[in-house]
């Protein structure tokens, strides 16, 4: 009887060792081949958190034909990460023209000074 028990124990240990080796091989393969996140679908909350582009910005770009969106579960707006990054890179940067600040009071000060001088001369 002891011989049969030992044989069963050895076989059980060999099976456990084979399972452990398969698990290690699968983990090593997963580490060596990272996940391709370019095809990952992002919802509006994720695009806002990662790229600072909200739902309204995504929908406006889609209306203009600049971005392709899809609808996911619960009618959520989804965009592929690669598509979003392509769109963001395609947007040209146009520096704004510098204008006089709205609170520029130099002309108002000059007018007020002239009026005060005119009142003092009277």
Provide the percentage of residues in the chain whose pLDDT is more than 70. 85
Q: What is the dihedral of CA 31, 37, 41, 47, to 10 degrees?
A: 120
Q: Domain locations in the chain? A: 1-34, 41-90
pLDDT digits (tens, 9 = 90+) for 18-34: 888 988 888 887 777 66
Mean pLDDT of 50-67: 94
Alpha-carbon gap, residue 8 to 41, rounded angstroms: 49
Provide the percentage of residues in the chain whose pLDDT is more than 90. 39
In this predicted structure, the answer to whether residue 88 has a pLDDT above a threshold of 90 is yes
In this predicted structure, the answer to whether residue 56 has a pLDDT above a threshold of 90 is yes
Q: What is the pLDDT of residue 24?
A: 86
Alpha-carbon gap, residue 84 to 31, rounded angstroms: 27
């Amino acid at each position: 009887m002891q011989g049969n028990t030992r044989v069963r124990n050895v076989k059980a240990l060999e099976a456990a060792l084979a399972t452990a080796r398969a698990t290690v091989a699968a983990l090593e393969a997963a580490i060596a081949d990272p996940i391709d996140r370019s095809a990952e679908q992002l919802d509006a909350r994720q695009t806002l958190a990662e790229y600072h582009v909200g739902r309204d910005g995504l929908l406006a770009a889609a209306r203009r034909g600049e971005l392709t969106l899809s609808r996911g579960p619960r009618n959520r707006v989804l965009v592929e990460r690669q598509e979003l990054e392509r769109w963001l890179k395609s947007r040209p940067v146009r520096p704004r023209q510098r204008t006089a600040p709205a609170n520029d009071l130099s002309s108002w000060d000059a007018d007020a000074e002239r009026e005060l001088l005119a009142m003092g001369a009277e």
